Amino acid sequence: MSQKTIFEKILQGEIPCKPVYEDEYTYAFNDINPQAPIHVLVIPKTKIVNVALSNENDIEQMGRVLYAAKKVAELTGIAQSGYRLVMNNGENGGQTVYYMHCHVLGGRSLAWPPG
């Protein structure tokens, strides 16, 4: 059996974490190493490793993650000023936790290119 990711431990209550937003399908919480004044991670409650390893069965869940990111932007007050959504995919894409997640970043002007 593979080792649980930190996100699985959060969802199972093994690591305490206060949600910024939660619904039946998603869970959003503050990043422990924020890269902007607002930096929230949105994860699906059903594990998807990453976008590259997703399949047609994951389409609805992936859409729910993006909708939850929109809700996070509204709740944190960055919806009107603008924000960035980032999903790292694989080693060269900067993915460090192999559980799909969306970063919601905002609260300041964000530079381009990002990486």
Asked if 10 and 30 touch (Cβ cutoff 8 Å), the reply is: no
Using DSSP bridges, classify how beta strands 26-30 and 38-44 pair: parallel, antiparallel or unpaired: antiparallel
Q: Which of 39, 64, 71, 101 is catalytic?
A: 101
Q: Is 101 a catalytic residue?
A: yes
CA distance 88 to 79: 22
3-state SS, 72-106, equals HHHHCCCCCCCEEEECCCCCCCCCCCCCCCEEEEE
The residues assigned a catalytic role are: 101
